[in-house]
Amino acid sequence: MLRLIRTGEAVTRAELGRATGLSRPAVQLRVGELLERGLVVERTDAPSTGGRPPVRLEFNASGGVVLVAALGASRTRVAVCDLAGVELAGREFAMDVEAGPDVVLPLLMDTWEELLGDRPRSMIRGVGMGVPATVEFAEGRTESARVMATWTGVVIPPIIRERFPVPVLVDNDVNVLAIGEHRGIYPDLSDLMFVKVSTRIGAGVIAGGGILRGALGAAGEIGHIPVKDGGGVLCRCGNTDCVDSVASGTALLRDLRALGKDVKTIADVTALVRAGDAETMATVREAGRRIGEVLAGAVNILNPAVVVLGGDVAEAFGPLVSSIREVVYRRSTALATRRLRIEPSRLGAGAGISGCAVMVLDHVLSPEAVDESMSVTSLRAEDLTPRPVG
């Protein structure tokens, strides 16, 4: 019923009755519970066709908040969002996730406390996080053995729930980017692949309208697909010539330094590209071709309608994106590329916060979660009801 009101499919009690087949008393009871929990509000400003105007039901986006955080290898964004996923307060800061959960998680929770301000803690409905590591989604357990090594085996939700006793969802950072870009920019497409090219390379896959995590959360790890003629570069995963080790932002900086270029950050590489430095342009294009080689195989397997390229490296270098497009269209099958679009991210870093919010809101506002929360509330009310003695 809440979903019908959120989407606008049914906005009066009569419409809800017709849509659900429930009796009038059942609809009244259910709507009353939603009103009591602050998830729905009543409006009487609808136009009247004669007589008293109908009471319209509206989803109450201000009836609660979710706490979200998009962690990157070196930068993190933290925010408080309303129940429509709109950011109410946020902060971005440099932070090394390798400092470990004992440092990072308390800092996140302290930041959420500050961003909440005067809002009562009872308004918090859930927490959503994206982390730059492989995540076993069902448990919220980070599984990377070499990336975020200090986080290996850490189950994040119980740590957060000690301070904020609400549902906590944790996923891979590129998965939440894919969710954010899909819901915000391409909601009508069922199949999308988001590729992040930054310090590392990874992908998030939307298949059939939902995120594809795989059996244990390892889907989309394209960064560890090997490329041919990679030069035997050792990857952090222990294998050699993974595309992450030869074409990521880290790899670009390493290769350009080996050529004698004074580059410390991606911004330095961008300056050389804009200046037309031939060696830098060739290195960037080669990275794009290697990424395109891997993506061509992914396109053949998944047949997405759009491949979205994000991350600071993809956003900074036009030559890299051009090389990716060239290889994908040349090496993927004709049918898989017939209508394929390869586009830059339109949300940028904001896709992470948006995706975290969508992920946790879809969970806490699902019919099952709302039913469960109402059942718990009813049981607590029964526990507080005086019973006759004797």
pLDDT confidence of residue 335: 96
pLDDT confidence of residue 50: 58
* SS (HEC) of 304-329: CCEEEEECHHHHHCHHHHHHHHHHHH
Mutual angle of helices 13-20 and 24-36, in 10-degree steps: 120
Q: How far is CA 224 from the centre of its chain?
A: 21
pLDDT confidence of residue 365: 92
Cα torsion 184, 186, 192, 197 to 10°: value is -50
Compute how many other C-beta atoms are within 10 angstroms of the C-beta atom of residue 384: 7
Query: Which domains does the chain show, CATH number per domain?
Result: 1-60 (1.10.10.10), 65-177+352-372 (3.30.420.40), 187-349 (3.30.420.40)
> Percent of the chain, pLDDT > 70?
92
pLDDT confidence of residue 49: 57
For residue 158, list its beta bridge partners.
none
- Rounded to whole angstroms, how far apart are CA atoms 308 and 203? 10
141 φ/ψ angles, rounded to the nearest 5 degrees: -100, 125
pLDDT confidence of residue 36: 87
- Rounded to whole angstroms, how far apart are CA atoms 241 and 226? 5
In tens, the pLDDT along 156-176 reads 999 999 999 999 999 999 999
Give how far Cα 297 sits from Cα of 227, 327, 330, Å.
Answer: 11, 11, 11
What is the value of pTM for the model shown?
Answer: 0.88
Give how far Cα 131 sits from Cα of 68, 75, 203, 371, Å.
Answer: 11, 11, 13, 30
In tens, the pLDDT along 77-120 reads 999 999 999 999 999 988 888 889 999 999 999 999 999 999 99
Q: Which residues of 18-49 are buried (b: 16+ CB within 10 A; e: fewer)?
A: eeeebeeeebeebbebbeebebbbeeeeeeee
pLDDT confidence of residue 390: 40
Mean pLDDT in consecutive groups of 10 residues from the start of the chain, 390 residues: 86 88 89 88 70 80 95 89 95 88 95 95 95 90 75 94 96 95 96 93 95 89 89 85 92 94 90 90 93 96 96 84 94 95 91 96 90 61 45
Would you say 370 and 2 are in contact if contact means Cβ atoms under 8 Å apart? yes
